[in-house]
């Protein structure tokens, strides 16, 4: 038995099927099935009852699940304690964030940390929302900056940073009829988005979940371009080539706006928003370095909002600061 098997077992239990666990973990379904079969052989009894509807625990599985949760908690606590020790000694804080957030925060955070007189060091990782969540859950990062659609209140301690406005983003293209129609506008109604071929991520991504929520609430079906890879930089390149439009926060595109490469229209009726949170793992204790880094993140977020790079409403009280 190993930690990977425990993770597969508990994820399958939580999701209710092997297929759903495979999607959650981004792993091939046969790989999970094989690991679960190996686990059951080692335990000497079936742990799951399998049917076309999914899986449920056997009596033995109920007993094993209690131990599995304790084992995983102990493993995560051990990792957290060791990483806490290493972090205290080095002053390095590992922060995970999505590419759109990284676009507005990364350089400013690195600059702010560099100016600090302390031994504080910053290690930034970027990835899709589900990866950032996984990194935090397994203590690969100390702080996650992510969206409300992809947090787990059971395992995370969350602090709201900013509620950002969402925009329809178009590539500046004088040959495009749609661009010509909207180039003099600064806002757009949600139902009007149905006129655009949209480059949108899948349902696993926090942005994909947000868009699906607004479609459900409004009853407006949008046109999703399945050719989109889900990678922000690839999507922006497709956008600039005139292959579609995107729904994004200003944090993802402010630099392209300043260069005159994109046009951003604020989405209204209903106003489209999402909340960005700073999260830490509930199972671990914060190092002095992590506490200091959270203060840096708050200061930099406030500066980027004041500079109009990150448009939205701050969700915490920030003292007066000088922003470059």
Predicted TM-score (pTM) of this structure: 0.71
How far apart CA 106 and CA 111 sit, in angstroms, is: 9
Query: Can you spell out the DSSP letters for 16-59?
Result: SSHHHHHHHHT--HHHHHHHHHHHHHHHTS--EEEETTEEEE-H
Q: What is the pLDDT of residue 84?
A: 64
How far apart CA 1 and CA 4 sit, in angstroms, is: 8
| pLDDT grade for 110, boundaries at 50, 70 and 90 | very high
Q: What is the pLDDT of residue 204?
A: 81
Q: What is the pLDDT of residue 264?
A: 96
**Whether the predicted pLDDT of 123 surpasses 60:** yes
Q: What is the pLDDT of residue 205?
A: 85
| Nearest-5° Cα angle at 16, 26 to 10 | 65
188: closest CA among 170, 174, 201, 162?
170
147: closest CA among 109, 190, 100?
100
Exposed e or buried b per residue across 213-223, where buried means at least 16 C-beta atoms within 10 angstroms of its C-beta: ebbeebeeebe
User: Residue range 247-252: average pLDDT?
Assistant: 95
Q: What is the pLDDT of residue 285?
A: 76
Burial of 290 (0-12, 13-18, 19+ CB in 10 A): buried
pLDDT in tens, 4-18: 888 888 999 999 998
Residues of the chain with CATH 1.10.10.10: 3-76
Of the chain, the percentage scoring pLDDT greater than 70 comes to 94
**Whether the predicted pLDDT of 316 surpasses 90:** no
User: Residue range 119-129: average pLDDT?
Assistant: 90
Q: What is the pLDDT of residue 166?
A: 97
CATH of 3-76, one of 1.10.3720.10, 3.20.20.70, 1.10.260.40, 1.10.10.10: 1.10.10.10
Highest mean pLDDT among 77-91, 220-234, 291-305: 291-305
In the chain, alpha helices (H): 3-15, 18-25, 29-43, 59-90, 99-115, 129-137, 177-182, 206-218, 232-240, 250-258, 288-306
pLDDT in tens, 69-97: 888 888 877 777 776 665 554 588 999 99
Averaged pLDDT of the chain: 88
Residue 73 CB coordination number (10 Å): 11
Q: What is the CA radius of gyration of the chain?
A: 22
Residues of the chain with CATH 3.40.190.10: 81-163+275-314, 164-273
Name every residue whose Cβ is closer than 8 Å to that of residue 33 and which is 6 or more positions away in sequence. 18
Query: What CATH number has the domain spanning 164-273?
Result: 3.40.190.10
Q: What is the pLDDT of residue 86?
A: 57
**Whether the predicted pLDDT of 228 surpasses 80:** no
Query: What CATH number has the domain spanning 81-163+275-314?
Result: 3.40.190.10
User: Residue range 150-160: average pLDDT?
Assistant: 86
């Amino acid at each position: 038995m190993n930690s990977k098997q425990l993770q597969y077992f508990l994820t399958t239990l939580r999701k209710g099927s092997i297929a759903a666990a495979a999607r959650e973990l981004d792993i091939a379904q046969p790989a999970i099935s094989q690991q679960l079969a190996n686990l059951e052989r080692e335990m000497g009894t079936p742990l799951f009852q399998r049917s076309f509807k999914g899986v449920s625990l056997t009596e033995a599985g109920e007993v094993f699940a209690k131990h599995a949760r304790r084992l995983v908690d102990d493993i995560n606590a051990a990792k957290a304690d060791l990483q806490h020790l290493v972090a205290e000694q080095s002053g390095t804080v590992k922060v995970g964030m999505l590419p759109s957030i990284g676009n507005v925060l990364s350089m400013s955070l690195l600059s702010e940390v560099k100016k600090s007189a302390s031994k504080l060091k910053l290690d930034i990782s970027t990835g899709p929302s589900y990866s950032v969540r996984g990194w935090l859950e397994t203590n690969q990062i100390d702080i996650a900056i992510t969206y409300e659609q992809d947090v787990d209140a059971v395992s995370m301690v969350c602090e709201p940073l900013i509620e950002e406005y969402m925009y329809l983003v178009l590539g500046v293209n004088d040959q495009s009829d749609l661009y010509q129609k909207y180039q003099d506008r600064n806002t757009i109604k949600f139902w009007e988005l149905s006129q655009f071929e949209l480059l949108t991520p899948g349902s696993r991504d926090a942005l994909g979940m947000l868009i699906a929520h607004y479609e459900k609430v409004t009853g407006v079906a949008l046109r999703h371009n399945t050719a989109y890879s889900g990678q922000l930089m690839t999507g922006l390149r497709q956008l600039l080539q005139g292959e579609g439009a995107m729904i994004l926060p200003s944090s993802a595109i402010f630099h392209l706006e300043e260069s005159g490469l994109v046009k951003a229209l604020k989405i209204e009726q209903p106003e489209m928003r999402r909340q960005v949170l700073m999260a830490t793992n509930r199972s671990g204790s914060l190092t002095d370095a992590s506490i200091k880094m959270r203060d840096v993140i708050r200061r930099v977020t406030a500066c980027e909002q004041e500079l109009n790079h990150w448009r939205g409403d701050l969700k915490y009280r920030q003292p007066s600061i000088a922003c470059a």
